[in-house]
Structure 1
């Protein structure tokens, strides 16, 4: 496609066309800012599923606004004929495909993420080695805030290569686990009853959700896993700490012995 042909595709921009493009640009930016500020503000004043549903609307509405602005701007710049549209978008797609392959992969994955929703705002997810709460689903990347309060930006392209583990999947409930390791000589039924009672008396427990105690025999003793749900997913670490400390104190008070694995001896010649 030569320069003269390309020039014929585009309209001559007069004052009215420039004004239209300016209004589209500022209108798009204003709507996106409004959506990104107003919906999280409103969601933080709600609880349960309503909060998660409202937060999940943010990336979807932003995508709709961007697509709408693009569709409004194209007829202002290009003569809206089929031949012109095919030529422009074909050339543009080929150029961007080579120049921005990885970026385009993340953008496509972002559209897939909006549609399939493997994660939403408010979800707790594990992507690779990073675990945290989803605070923003952008066009290119998803932002997680880790338990250490670090903000991590992960490209959506990880959808193609990494498993996505979603702990609550849009629900306010998230299962927490506390592990205990006991000497094999003990009354297992009594331990299960004690751990169940500890979970049942936690101030963070979501009543109505199941409580489970799972036991597994190991060469060094018995491992117990206490599984229960906090009232809110953001309480998961306080809940797990409460279960761990109170259950351990009660187990010791009842005379149960914790399992102890002896340290491995240092190989000869390793020191110095």
Structure 2
């Protein structure tokens, strides 16, 4: 019977067994607590890479203590026979497989990414509102660095569930878009000429790519967008800032006024287009 098979898995539990298991649990808790106190204390007295190495030992130490405690406690309650070992490993494998299904999904997506190349090192991508440069493509995650120098790890699993925007797609050209908002009463041809000159005179401009100034009439005024390419994708933010600052200066010298956007207008003053 199944009940008898389950019963044969376990040893006779005695008071001594319970006390020993309790002592192991208490010792494990104490060791984890000490590691979380002593290792940070030690790290504060070290510098540079040594400090980071000691801090990285905290979760590793906790996992090792828990594993040793489990290896000690399990044989106290379960008869260590071949049949029991296979049954435990089977149950553990099923539980681990269910827990790691997302990890396996990311690994499979990584294989697909290696074939389809939705991103490569050096690409500027946006995933769920996080925009940055791809620094490393691993088996499970892609590592990107944002404009604020923040490292973000994005699982390849996002290939299945979301959109991935690639601004330069493996190339050296990345289009930037800078917006200006003017009141409607002005000479649009003259404004376009001035904004084009602003872009063409930028020290970051990639001259081999076209510069385009487009405009769109809105109920509140006119929306101008300068579309141009920096020499290097990593210069995109300096490029956009340079055009924005000099564009505002040039427009202030003209008989134009900046528009007042309604509160519900979602687009910001500058934007980037992939």
Give the equivalent residue in structure 2 for 1:101: 101
Q: Say if 2:134 and 2:143, in contact at 8 Å, map to a contact too.
A: yes
- TM-score, normalised with respect to structure 1: 0.61
Q: How does 1:18-167 map to 2 (within 5 A)?
A: 97-167=97-167
Shift of 1:254: 1.7
Note the C-alpha offset of 1:220: 0.8
CA distance in 2, matches of 1:124, 1:156: 16
In structure 2, do the counterparts of structure 1 residues 207 and 263 end up closer, same or farther at CA, with 3 Å as the change threshold?
closer
Instruction: Supply the distance in 1 between the matched residues of 2:242 and 2:204 (Cα, whole angstroms).
Output: 8
> How many Å apart are 1:99 and its aligned residue?
4.7
Give structure 2 stretches of 5+ with no counterpart: 1-89, 265-274
Question: Can you list the C-alpha shifts for 1:221-246, whole angstroms capped at 9, x where unaligned?
Answer: 10000010000000000000011110
Shift of 1:172: 1.2
Matched residues, number = 172
TM-score (norm 2): 0.60
Secondary structure of the corresponding residue to residue 119 of structure 2: coil
Match of 1:208 in 2: 208
Structure 1 residues 262 and 231: CA distance shift in structure 2, 3 A: closer
Partner of 2:231 in structure 1?
Answer: 231
Cα-to-partner distance string for 1:31-71 (whole Å, 9 max, x where unaligned): xxxxxxxxxxxxxxxxxxxxxxxxxxxxxxxxxxxxxxxxx
Residues 248 and 104 of structure 1: CA distance in aligned 2, closer, same or farther (over 3 Å): same
Shift of 1:100: 2.1
**How big is the shift at 1:261?**
3.6
Aligned-partner SS, 1:226: strand
Structure 1 residue 161, shift from structure 2 partner = 0.6
Aligned partners of 2:124, 2:172: CA distance in 1, in Å? 10
Q: Distance in 1 between matches of 2:101 and 2:246?
A: 53
Give the root-mean-square deviation of aligned CA atoms.
1.7
Q: Offset at 1:154?
A: 0.7
Superposed CA offset, 1:2-57 (max 9, x none): xxxxxxxxxxxxxxxxxxxxxxxxxxxxxxxxxxxxxxxxxxxxxxxxxxxxxxxx
Counterpart of 2:180 in structure 1 is: 180
Deviation at 1:263, TM superposition (A): 6.3
| Structure 1 position 260 matched with structure 2 position 265 | no
Matched residue, 1:242: 242
Q: Deviations over 1:115-171 (max 9, x none)?
A: 100000000000111000000100000011011110000100000011010000001
